[in-house]
Amino acid sequence: MILIKNGRLIDPASKRDEIVDIAIEDGKIKEIGKIDGETFEEIIDASGYVVSPGLIDVHVHFRDPGFTYKEDILSGAKSAARGGFTTVVCMANTKPVVDNVETLKYINEKAKEACINVLQVGSVTKSFRGKELSNFEELLEHGAVGFSDDGIAIMDTEMLYEAMKKAKELDVPISLHEEDSNFIETAGVNDSEIAKKLGLKGGAKTCAEDIMVARDCMIALETGAKVSIQHISSGVAVETVRFAKSLGAKVYAEAAPHHFTLTEEDVLKYGSLAKMNPPLRSEKDKQIIIEGLKDNTIEIIATDHAPHSNKEKNRAFAACPSGIIGLETSLALGVTSLVNKEHISLMSLLEKMTINPARLYNLNRGYISEGEVADIVIFDENEKWTVTDFDSKSSNSPFVGCELLGKVKYTISEGKIVYTDK
């Protein structure tokens, strides 16, 4: 039994914000209130700390199977726990792609050994080729929680239409990477003066994203499917999602911390460590993303945690892979870039990192209530710390050396302490 004493409970699902004690027994929350601590095996003094539902990230890449030198399920879970996450949803761009039951079973079996709740999506199309739908029913039967070809846009409109109809029928989300490769000369950098300064012929135009978002929002409206626009980076795309919502489309949008913290100018500073798809955009785009977070056009914050080896990232910009790791800095970047600058409240930040992603994937997680699973993060919103090392196998982050606000002190997954700040 664990007792959390005198913590500031912030639970976005119930809008509860008060100082309480929380008793945990047999993996569940036994009691919330004023509790005598004499009978507990472990007592956590949470005075001055925030106690919230364990964070949920619906967009991570754990590279397992196929690329485990970058990350694997166990190291990814450890990295997530250090960042305060108790549930993650892994994308399907493994090797082989998660378009078959055998690969899905392997992942789910290995996930049982993880320190947190690791879930997996299946691919929308077989082998990510965009030509034939995966067997949605079969993959769902064996534990998939949704579908995504993340990393590759689905260019065949008819194929995507059929996928959304199927997703609507089965009541599962489809999460979409929105970049039309016809408008990308060099991936990972905005098509602007920044690309030219890097000596590149061009980059990724914002219209590469805008075109796909507009199309997919309208298909979502037509089919009634629940669709997530992943790692939104363009201001126009934010406005499009806002419009689609006003029409009644069941469109969600997720923003990555790097897109509301950094801009294209940071690529000149960090080089390949700031290369990601879609790329960092202009200051104007960043500000529109922040406005989208403020008015809930963007309901979800997700990291797109994308580990790569140092050797891979040290290649020339055009030749190195896109993506950065993000699980261990996500909460702190939200506190530093959004809450501390008074763009949104701490309640709103946590809503976008707990109950909202849970609702997208129909998960019975993301809230704190008596009798329910004890997934909890305890953090100090005011503690300053410097990013120096990671529990991930990889270290490809532009935030190394940065001072951030908001330090995870404990992560509790299904009633077990899986991370303690030392």
Range of the domain at 142: 54-360
- Please report, for the domain that includes residue 108, its CATH number: 3.20.20.140
- Distance CA(322)–CA(272), nearest Å, equals 8
Answer yes or no: is 100 within a domain.
Answer: yes
Beta-carbon-side half-sphere exposure of residue 215 (alpha carbons within 13 Å):
20
Closest by Cα among 351, 358, 298 to 173: 358
Token look-up 């009634």 returns 224
- pLDDT at residue number 248: 98
**Do 33 and 370 touch, CB atoms closer than 8 A?**
no
Answer yes or no: is 11 within a domain.
Answer: no
Answer yes or no: is 390 within a domain.
Answer: no
- Distance CA(85)–CA(73), nearest Å, equals 14
pTM: 0.98
**Do 337 and 260 touch, CB atoms closer than 8 A?**
yes
Q: Mean pLDDT of successive 10-residue segments in the chain (422 residues)?
A: 97 98 98 91 97 99 98 98 99 98 98 98 98 98 98 97 98 98 97 96 97 98 98 98 98 98 98 98 98 98 98 96 98 98 98 98 98 98 98 98 98 98 90
Cross-sheet strand order for the sheet of 251-255? 147-148, 174-176, 227-229, 251-255, 300-301
φ, ψ for residue 365, nearest 5 deg = -145, 180
Q: Is 304 a residue of the active site?
A: yes
Answer yes or no: is 218 within a domain.
Answer: yes
- pLDDT at residue number 17: 98
Burial string for 394-406 (b: 16+ CB within 10 Å, else e) reads bbbbbbeebebbb
Q: How far is CA 405 from CA 18, 57, 345, 374, in A?
A: 22, 20, 14, 25
- pLDDT at residue number 201: 93
- pLDDT at residue number 56: 99
- Distance CA(358)–CA(346), nearest Å, equals 18
- The total number of structural domains in the chain stands at 1
Answer yes or no: is 386 within a domain.
Answer: no
Answer yes or no: is 22 within a domain.
Answer: no
Answer yes or no: is 394 within a domain.
Answer: no
- Considering the candidates 99, 304, 375, 380, report the single residue annotated as catalytic: 304
Handedness of CA 407, 410, 412, 418 (dihedral sign): positive
- Distance CA(13)–CA(156), nearest Å, equals 38
Answer yes or no: is 395 within a domain.
Answer: no
